[in-house]
Amino acid sequence: MAQQRPRVALTLGDPAGIGPELAAKVLSRPGTLDANEVHVLADRDEFERAFADARLPAVPLGDEPRPGVATLLDDHSAPPTPIPTGVVSEEAGHRAMHQLRRAVALAAEGRVGAIVFAPLNKTSLHLAGMQEEDELRWFAKQMDHHGTTSELNVLEDLWTARVTSHIPLSAVAARVTPESVRATIGLLHQVLTDAGIEPRLGVCALNPHAGENGNFGREEIDAIAPAVAAATADGIDVRGPFPSDTIFLAARRGDFNGIVTMYHDQGQIAMKLLGFSGGVTIQGGLPVSIATPAHGTAFEIVGQGVADPTSMANAFDIAAAVAARRQA
């Protein structure tokens, strides 16, 4: 029996940015439509404009999923006047969220196992009414999901997950608890496993020099080390806590393929120094595989046909791979 193709919902992201161009370039890649069942959430005019921006002929469309074609889920809801490109706007935020809600509904109906969305603009989303601190919390609310979640970042063979994310630094220490660290370790372990990767995890300290035996803070002693010990007892390959100024060097020499960080910039600065092009953000812990490029909407190059699709392609491939394993 032929293996079932991963079922992927693809949205064009913020219509004012480079998202439509990136989506068109990924759809045009050799093999994308043969290996995956892709449902594009856009109106036909938006779909055609995306390929015009990419300087590519539009891929073939079909009413029913089959290899070599995409399914266009046109609900005729696009505004009659095109949304201006290259600027923040409430209209762009509304359009992006409308298609994301449709993607979530497809997942709830079991019609797709993965959602891939092109870059969004947080200001436009908040102008349009998004009240959550980030897309991850928005997705969790839309799916009525109350389990552990974390925004994961992937660059080549290295994956990171955060104990805390989009909160002030002043609030971080209080949220670093044995329970939150243990849950994030478990989440990263599970996502790597779902992607077909054998996890080898390292955990960052919070304080300089990993707290220097309590001289610079007790979070390592009271929260992080107990969480690592609990995860190890459960059979997870994890070590730490390690100072955050050396753990990424250890990862580069192959000691780890996953790192748990305590707060947003602790991992993001390191990852973006290791390499910006190709990075992926995963909405970890949700019941559906969801991924997006790690970069933004790049308003300054919209419509020029020069946007690099590497991160978008990587996001698509990771989300599809996880969906395929879950469908098997």
pLDDT tens, residue by residue, 297-324: 999 999 999 999 999 999 999 999 999 9
Same domain? For 196 and 67 the reply is no
Same domain? For 283 and 259 the reply is no
Could you say which of 277, 294, 311 is where a domain stops? 277
What single string gives the DSSP state of each residue in 114-126? EEEE----HHHHH
Torsion of CA 189, 327, 99, 60, to 10 degrees: 130
Same domain? For 207 and 138 the reply is no
Same domain? For 69 and 218 the reply is no
What stretch of H or E contains 292? strand 289-293
Same domain? For 161 and 124 the reply is no
User: Residue 219 has which token pair?
Assistant: 């979070």
Please give the tally of structural domains in the chain.
2
| CA-to-CA separations, 318 to 36, 53, 237, 323, 325, in angstroms, rounded | 12, 25, 22, 9, 11
User: What percent of the chain is helix, strand and coil (3-state, nearest 5)?
Assistant: 40, 15, 40
Same domain? For 11 and 99 the reply is yes
Bridge partner residues of 321 (DSSP): none
Instruction: Measure the N-to-C terminal CA separation of the chain; round to a whole number of Å.
Output: 12
Q: Which amino acid is at 316?
A: F
Enclosing domain of residue 192: 157-277
CATH number at residue 201: 3.40.718.10
Question: Nearest-CA neighbor of 148 among 257, 287, 265, 263?
Answer: 287
What single string gives the DSSP state of each residue in 130-191? --SSSHHHHHHHHTT--S--EEEEEETTEEEEESS-SS-GGGHHHH--HHHHHHHHHHHHHH
Cis ω for the linkage preceding 241 (within 30 of 0): yes
Same domain? For 24 and 169 the reply is no
Same domain? For 7 and 138 the reply is yes
User: Residue 211 has which token pair?
Assistant: 């707290």
| CA-to-CA separations, 122 to 13, 23, 88, 301, in angstroms, rounded | 11, 19, 9, 18
What stretch of H or E contains 280? strand 280-284
Tens-digit pLDDT profile for the chain (328 aa)? 356 899 999 999 999 999 999 999 999 999 999 999 999 999 999 999 999 999 999 999 998 899 999 999 999 999 999 899 999 999 999 999 999 999 999 999 999 999 999 999 999 999 999 999 889 999 999 999 998 888 899 998 999 999 999 899 999 999 999 999 999 999 999 999 999 999 999 999 999 999 999 999 999 999 999 999 999 999 999 999 999 999 999 999 999 999 999 999 999 999 988 877 889 999 999 999 999 999 999 999 999 999 999 999 999 999 999 999 988 7
Same domain? For 181 and 203 the reply is yes
Question: Among all chains, which residue has been given the structure tokens 């200001």?
Answer: 123
Q: Is residue 24 part of a domain?
A: yes
DSSP state of 253: T
Burial class (CB in 10 A: 0-12, 13-18, 19+), 253: exposed
User: Could you report the per-residue pLDDT of 9-59, keeping only the tens digit for each?
Assistant: 999 999 999 999 999 999 999 999 999 999 999 999 999 999 999 999 999
Q: Is residue 152 part of a domain?
A: no
SS (H, E, C) 12-61: CCCCCCCHHHHHHHHHCCCCHHHHCEEEEECCHHHHHHHHHHHCCCCCCE
Cβ–Cβ under 8 Å, residues 237 and 201: yes
Q: Can you tell me the distance from the alpha carbon of 92 to that of 128, in angstroms, rounded to the nearest whole number?
A: 8
Same domain? For 288 and 222 the reply is no
Q: Can you tell me the distance from the alpha carbon of 241 to that of 57, in angstroms, rounded to the nearest whole number?
A: 51
Same domain? For 7 and 141 the reply is yes
User: Could you report the per-residue pLDDT of 57-68, keeping only the tens digit for each?
Assistant: 999 999 889 999
Same domain? For 283 and 231 the reply is no
In this prediction the pTM is 0.91
